[in-house]
Structure 1
Amino acid sequence: MVLTLGAAVVAADGFTPPSRGGGQAPAGPPATARVTRQTLVDTYERAGDLGYGARITLTGRIGGVVTRLPLPGDVIGRGQAVYRVDDTPVVLLFGAVVAYRTLTTGVVGADVRQLEDSLRALGYGGFTVDDTYSAGTAAAVRAWQRDLGLPRTGEVQLGRVLFAPGEIRVDSVTTGVNRSTGGGEDVLQYTGTGRLVTVLLDVSRQRLARKGVEVRVLLPDGQAVPGRLERVSTVVEQPATPDAQPQTKLEAVVSLADPAAAARLEAAVVTVVFTAAARADVLTVPVAALVALAEGGYGVEVVLDGTATRHVRVETGLFAGGRVEISGDGLRDGTTVVMPA
């Protein structure tokens, strides 16, 4: 016995002959579908924000009066002035370690190495790129200071340089020209220059959000761009109302394989498509083609020769996109099955 949509169909030997009901108007031919061999992919979609990633605040540590500021959207490269105090530059250099001390002869650390890396990239020499601030480093710093119009002290004052991993983009300016600075006041906020998508996920989706996972990003114009999860972190989302509780979320940051595809979009809401599961080279039918067997499990009604049909027990696998993976005796790509009414 086969049960489909609440109706019982008896098939004693699995064969259903064509109906010859006397006196009744002949029914129209049943709707059918074909068994298809394909890669079946189950996806999970979530809205994300396209932008430039996290905003970082730059505070002023060089005392004086702000005399020049960049504009929002400006891109600043290595060796260039981020802003000016008393008409002297605060300079961008590349490095992952933030500036946290004055660099002078004898100090040792990763911040020294990245200073020397930048000096070498800017054309200064006479030192070995290592973790030690040597006399050769100090001589190169004096030459660099001379070219910038700074006092030739041979040491790098805390606040004179901003270390960032690469070029920066000015997001907003929070002070003004002719304002005093140097006491840790906010000067501006900046980001990286790469286009990034930030998406929040429930912690239950943690298996989807792993560094290096490939995703698809659907832009507002419908274009699909490959993406990659660069980092995943846990954040606390504050409630919208006072009586609600904060919620822990996963924040995933996605890079675009083709940043130029989003070049015209300063900011936008996009859709991030995660692959939850995938099965390659499997037979599938529409989920609606399944019939529930009275003895348990599922089957499909295979069309034999026009009107005669036979029920075939199937094992089901992945369900995705309205289709289901199946396997069963005699089923192959192109087999015709009945779609129950």
Structure 2
Amino acid sequence: MPPWWRVSTEIAYFAALAAVIGGAVAYLTVVRPVLRAEVDDPDRQAVHGRTVRLLAWCGPVLLVAGYLQLAARVARGVKGVTFGQSLAPSRIWSFLTLPIAVQNVCYALAGVALLTLFVRDRPTLVTAVALPLTVLGTVVLALPTGQGQTLDTQLNGWFTQVHILGASVWLGGLFALAVIGRGRGFGQRAGLVWARMWQRFSSVALVSVGAVVASGVWLAWRHVGTVGQLFTTTYGRFLLVKLIIVAAMVCAGAYNQLALTPRIARAHAAGDLGRGFALTLRHFPTVVAVETGLGLAVLTIVPFLSGSARTQAGGPPAPAVDGGILALGALLVVTLTASLYASYRVSTLLTRRAAQAC
């Protein structure tokens, strides 16, 4: 089992990534476009103010989590150094080599950019700067170094990053909208605004889920040789719990998209703003809060997914990647894309019919 400091620092690190990446994507693709349309001033000010404060606090969270994660790297990589000793800036400085140095410079710049929101209200500019810096900070570890990396190693690195980014957008976006939508300060017509925001985020979440599932299938195949290893190895059991939680999150999202969204459209089409308000700002956020809690549970499992079920079971490693495996993977991606698009179309059709029925 990993030591407590490794578990806590990894949870904090991935939670911070999700908060920054998911929050920035949610603002740029959901909140900002909706607020640019016709919105009552009290609702606009409430959503905008909460979003800016949330993004501003993501700055110090990213800086602290990044520093702790770097200290944990030192404690793991330098023999005889405890986690407490690794917190010393001098030890961290001596450990900073490429590409870890690039990663942490990106995180530092992104964190400082977000901190400026405490004094300057420029969320569009700040998120446009902080988002690519944070993404670069995580994907830089997957860039080829030219030191004898095989195709398998490179694919594993890139799929890991896709998994991290997809999960960050999904979980971080859920968290951001759940925080922004809680509390008072919204007018009677706020339900109309939030209906549009939930619809837009459903599309973003759908793409994120596709990325998580596709990359997750690859990573599971690399680390788990048989179904039995999910039950007989420590890695497999933790992975199985993670899969169950993710499946529950997907089911909650499907409920939002296929059941709640049409009900919201029906209420607004009938002119029942009170019912629409209750669904969009009470019922919907409750389900989203449950999804966010499940996502945090997934983050607590991540530090325990070290090694491989194949290795723990004493079995052979995953076979080398060849044309057949790549073709099968491409078929999986096409099938997954088609199924997700079909679910999007079904949700759109149900919402349209619900609105036209009134």
Name the TM-score, length of structure 2 as normaliser: 0.20
Structure number having the greater strand percentage: 1
Higher relative contact order (CA 8 A, sep 6+): 1
Name the TM-score, length of structure 1 as normaliser: 0.21
Structure number having the greater helix percentage: 2
